[in-house]
Structure 1
Amino acid sequence: MPDAPSPTPSPVLPALPPLTAQAEHLVELGVHELAGTTAEELRAFAEHAGPARTDALLAVHPDRAPASALAPLLRHEGKPGFVVTDMPDVDDFAPYAVELPEAPFYLVTGLDRGDHMANWSPDEALPALTEAHRTPLLLTEGIHWVLQQPAALARNLCFMTIGSRLRKPNGTYDARTPAIWISNGTGRDGRERRNAPKVGWCWWNNRHTWLGFASTTGRKEEGEYR
């Protein structure tokens, strides 16, 4: 495994908003409509899970709210998020090495951006996360995280979401690996998208000094917390 690129400690992120505030924010963004449910159901989930909790992320199952629909809701410096043009199949990236609750809403706990793994490849990071009893975030979970906690996405401190991968018809996996970072406004992104949140990809065996590996200690349905 490569060494951490710098001894500088990662910045401490603020606590997540309370679950009721997270639910309300998703309602304001219309995520409940994307998910084919009601605002009341989303609010009720947060209430039952613990309305004042700030240690868990409220996530909508990717089958209900796919990445292509969530990405444009992201904001950074007033710029809306987008998916790169060479990832038209973004919603085909499915859970990999991850077991998801079957419920439409669930909680993600113990979030970590994985800054200490910057300059590692996904192939190197996955076994290290497994050894630490953590699982990588899905792309949709990473988007939910930034929606609720914009400080989780910072220039030169962005992250990969290797819990989502694309399985090809022959059974092997596409080498593209989803990540969320901040656009420089170059190339096909367009200058108008400089500083916009960007859903893109990197190769499975490549390293990037500015990309960590976001992960979680667990995913639970609301009822499992009671």
Structure 2
Amino acid sequence: MTSDGRSPVPAALPPVPAQADRLVALGLVPDDGTPAAPDRLDAAGLRSAARRLAVDAPPGALLVVHPRHLSPSALAPHLRRTVRTRTGVVEREGFVVEDMTDVDAFGPVDGLEVPDADVYLVNGPERGDEMANASPQEAAARIAARGRSPLTLAEGAQWVLQDPEVLEPGRCFMTIGSRRRRPDGTYDARTPALWISGGTGRDGSTRRGATKIGWCWWRNRHTWLGVASTDDRLDP
């Protein structure tokens, strides 16, 4: 933790246009050369938005593609980590826990203003290490008191995509800006989070060290999970 009580700043993210190029290179945004439909984001549209956003982007800004174009479930396999095993070094694909088949239904919570833009910036993302052992419910008030906004699951997953090292053993994070609403309008008690699998239980030993999208209870505390937040968001 820094002297002012904030999370340490992870390694700087690449420039905004380079982040767009990475999304295209991974095949997450199509680059087939055909004209894009009005409801479709293609590589040309992404790169154009990235160039506009880069003009005012502060250092360390994260480029985010709206989840209507890039869902957490589509991102998960691309959240790859290099893991050292007894037989050598392997690359593990990320995954969503088996009991979160509804992962893409977790949307922004009430009062959280996410730009209704195909592409936008998240400025000053922090992992929230200082809120480890705070429940999501407790952390929400602390984040608000600092004038910050909690990250959504889509934002957190795209942060890990661009900078896999933002997840460290014992230093991972929840994304309490996303929750799933029940038919009666109340929230599901689950809160999404990203951490590193220990390869136990239903994860299986072949996923040891992989990036994991899972969930925690709204009122539970975890010593190894911070609560990620941002200074603000900027649309083109």
Matched, 1:31 2:28: yes
Query: What corresponds to 2:155 in structure 1?
Result: 141
CA-based RMSD of the aligned residues comes to: 2.0
Cα deviation, 1:22-64, whole Å, max 9, x if unaligned, reads 0100101122139932211111111122268633110011122
| TM-score normalised by length of structure 1 | 0.90
| Equivalent pair of 1:17/1:54 in contact (CA under 8 Å) | no
Per-residue CA distance 1:97-141 (angstroms, 9 max, x = gap):
411111100000011100000000001000111111111100010
Aligned length: 216
Aligned residue number for residue 98 of structure 2? 85
Deviation at 1:173, TM superposition (A): 0.8
Equivalent residue for 1:43, pick from 27, 44, 47: 47
Aligned with 2:134 (options 92, 106, 120): 120
Distance in 1, matches of 2:197 and 2:234, equals: 33
Query: By how many angstroms is 1:171 displaced?
Result: 1.6
8 Å CA contact retained: 1:117, 1:125: yes
Deviates more, 1:30-39 or 1:164-173: 30-39
2:94 and 2:211 in contact (8 A); partners too: yes
1:158-178 Cα deviation digits (max 9, x unpaired): 000000001111221111110
Which whole-Å CA distance do the structure 1 matches of 2:183 and 2:177 have between them?
Answer: 19
The correspondence of residues 1-226 of structure 1 with structure 2, limited to 5 A, is: 11-33=8-30, 36-50=40-54, 54-77=59-82, 78-96=91-109, 97-222=111-236
1:70 corresponds to which letter in structure 2? L
8 Å Cα contact 1:19/1:54 also seen in 2:
no
Could you tell me how far 1:80 is from its partner in structure 2? Answer: 0.6
Query: 80-89 vs 63-72, which deviates more?
Result: 63-72
Percent of aligned positions that are identical: 56
Do the aligned partners of 2:6 and 2:128 also contact (CA within 8 Å) in 1? no
Partner letter of residue 87 of structure 1? M
Tell me the CA shift for residue 12 of structure 1: 4.1
For 1:100 and 1:9, the matched residues in 2 are separated by 23
Distance 1:12 1:53, change over 3 A: closer
Return the alpha-carbon distance in structure 2 between the equivalents of residues 106 and 143 of structure 1.
Answer: 15
Please give the alpha-carbon distance, in whole angstroms, between the structure 1 residues aligned to 2:70 and 2:150. Answer: 19
Q: Which runs of 5+ in 2 are unaligned?
A: 32-38, 83-90
The CA distance in 2 between the partners of 1:127 and 1:30, in whole Å, is: 38
Aligned partners of 1:165, 1:23: CA distance in 2, in Å?
A: 27
Q: Does the 8 A contact of 1:165 with 1:174 survive in 2?
A: yes
Q: CA deviation at 1:142?
A: 0.3
One-letter amino acid matched to 2:47: R
Q: Secondary structure at the match of 2:30?
A: helix
